[in-house]
Amino acid sequence: MAKILCVLYGDPVTGHPKEMIRDGIPQLSRYPDGQTLPTPSKIDFTPGQLLGSVSGELGLRKFLEEAGHEFVVTSDKDGADSVFDQELVDAEIVISQPFWPAYLTAERMAKAKKLKLAITAGIGSDHVDLQAAMKNGITVAEVTYCNSISVAEHVVMMILSLVRNYIPSYKWVIKGGWNIADCVQHSYDVEGMAVGTVAAGRIGSAVLRRLKPFDMKLHYTDRYRLSKEVEEELNLTYHANLESMVEVCDIVTINCPLHPETENLFNEALINKMKRGAYLVNTARGKICDRDAVARALESGQLAGYAGDVWFPQPAPKDHPWRTMPNHGMTPHISGSSLSAQARYAAGTREILECWFQNKPIRSEYLIVDGGKLAGTGAHSYSEGNATKGSEEAVRFKELTVV
């Protein structure tokens, strides 16, 4: 029997909800590209429940304990005295989320002699040192596509919120004001603007499809060019390099994975090549952007706005400059953790576990590392290397409690 260590974010401050706010969620069978949704043998939850917090337990406890496994769930993940570090030493399987990542560094892997499988309940496994996972023979898997559309919807929301100056306008209402001039002095239409995505995979392509009805000029750059049919259908302009795209775009949205080649990709030099007053949206990974360069660009006016829900580290300490920089629309990492998405990534996590315990192959689209090398989706999306360096800064979230 195995020990499974699961790291999830904390419950709502008012406690875990006793009932759902809606009676249910739409039932889907396939993703837009035809891939089937997760197919576990069964689930022990009602889709639409809060599953991603510690009390939700991804709906896994009944399944795992009836099979005789030990299941430990915690939100305490950072620092040598954390529950995660204490329980990791004899865990065979670790489950974590991108939204509240348990940074699985080489140092932690060295202490976890029994660790064989790391599952990301969601998409994006950069919180795992992939190089160390390959070296140590650890399989890494994630629930591909489970929340791609969720993130794409969030991107569109943030683009409209920035360009239309929604957040400051909303704040005037809260203050009791009617300050129309203050609100509209930074408000524009997206119609006719040029928007470009860094990567046009599942999320990037979905963003472009959702922005097409707004009559925007659509651009993209990617290591893999889309088909001629898709380019013509969406009237896309392809850029062979990132620099040529950012120079012509009013809005840039980042939708690529984090790995050593994309770490700090948006540094001061690249941001200065963007149009003055451009908008930058990042729901990919915080470390793709140079933290201080973004803050300086907002202060100088080089960027008119920055929005996203990804930070580094996560959770972000109270003194993280993105909390207080001007003209931002930041949220905690929530874009891929809607209740709709949670039902899919919880079911996908169970599907991976069922395959593992039954010695059946895990879907190739779920695999990131297998057999000591990048595999499946990992071979397509990632590069060898480690992007977890510096994750120990997350300890300061516990020290600088957010009020």
Beta strands of 191-262 (E only): which ranges?
A: 194-198, 217-221, 236-239, 251-254
Q: Which pLDDT belongs to residue 400?
A: 55
CA pair distance 283, 329, nearest whole angstrom = 12
The catalytic position among 285, 344, 350, 363 is 285
Question: Residue 382 has what pLDDT?
Answer: 85
Regarding whether 66 and 15 lie in a shared domain, the answer is yes
Give per-residue pLDDT as tens, 373-398.
999 999 988 877 777 777 777 776 77
How many whole angstroms separate alpha carbon 72 and alpha carbon 57?
Answer: 9
Nearest to 264 by CA among 292, 306, 236, 295: 292
Same-domain pairing of 177 and 325: yes
Does the pLDDT value for residue 349 go beyond 90? yes
Please indicate, yes or no, whether residues 168 and 316 belong to a single structural domain of this protein.
Answer: yes
Domain that holds residue 246: 148-330
CA distance 114 to 90: 6
**What 8-state DSSP symbol labels residue 124?**
-
Domain match, 166 and 312 both: yes
Structure confidence by residue, pLDDT tens digits, 208-237: 999 999 999 999 999 999 999 999 999 999
Are both 173 and 248 inside the same structural domain?
yes
- Within this chain, do residues 181 and 322 fall inside the same structural domain, yes or no? yes
- Residue 384 or 18, more confident: 18
Q: Where residue 280 sits, what CATH number does that domain have?
A: 3.40.50.720
Catalytic site residue from 108, 219, 328, 333: 333
359 a catalytic residue: no
**pLDDT over 70 for what percent of the chain?**
98
Same domain flag for 160 and 180:
yes
Q: Is 147 a catalytic residue?
A: yes
Catalytic residue among 49, 97, 147, 282: 147
In sequence order, the β-bridge partners of residue 303 are 278
Checking DSSP bridges between strand 139-142 and strand 367-370, what pairing results, if any? antiparallel
∠ CA 343-62-347, nearest 5°, is 20
- Please enumerate in sequence order all residues whose Cβ is within 8 A of that of 346, keeping only pairs 6 or more positions apart, or say none: 43, 45, 51, 52, 56, 58, 59, 60, 121
Give strand ranges (E) for 229-317: 236-239, 251-254, 278-282, 303-308
27 labelled catalytic: no
Give the tens place of pLDDT for each residue, 245-282.
999 999 999 999 998 899 999 999 999 999 999 999 99
Catalytic residue among 255, 302, 314, 327: 314
Please say if the pLDDT value at position 401 is more than 60.
no
Q: Determine the pLDDT at residue 402.
A: 42
Please name which of 307, 265, 262 lies closest in space to residue 283, comparing C-alpha atoms: 307
Is 328 among the catalytic positions? no
**Which DSSP symbol is given to 123?**
S
% of the chain beyond a pLDDT of 90: 92
Least confident residue range of 73-77, 362-366, 379-383 = 379-383
Tell whether 350 and 314 lie within a shared domain.
no
Q: Which residues, 6+ apart, have CB-to-CB distance to 21 below 8 Å?
A: none
Asked whether residue 31 falls in the same domain as residue 102, the answer is yes
Task: List beta partners, residue 100.
Answer: 97
Average pLDDT over residues 313-333: 95
Residues 136 and 158 in one domain: no
Residue 44 φ/ψ, nearest 5 degrees? -115, 40
User: Is the predicted pLDDT of residue 200 greater than 60, yes or no?
Assistant: yes
In this prediction, residue 43 carries a pLDDT of: 98
For residue 138, the SS3 value is coil
Question: What digits encode the pLDDT tens for the residues 124-171?
Answer: 999 999 999 999 999 999 999 999 999 999 999 999 999 999 999 999
Number of domain units in the chain: 2
Q: How confident is the model at residue 403 (pLDDT cuts 50, 70, 90)?
A: very low
Is the same domain home to 324 and 217?
A: yes
Predicted confidence (pLDDT) per residue in 38-74, tens digit? 999 999 999 999 999 999 999 999 999 999 999 999 9
- Shared domain for 221 and 277, answered yes or no, is yes
Q: Are 222 and 245 in contact (CB under 8 A)?
A: no
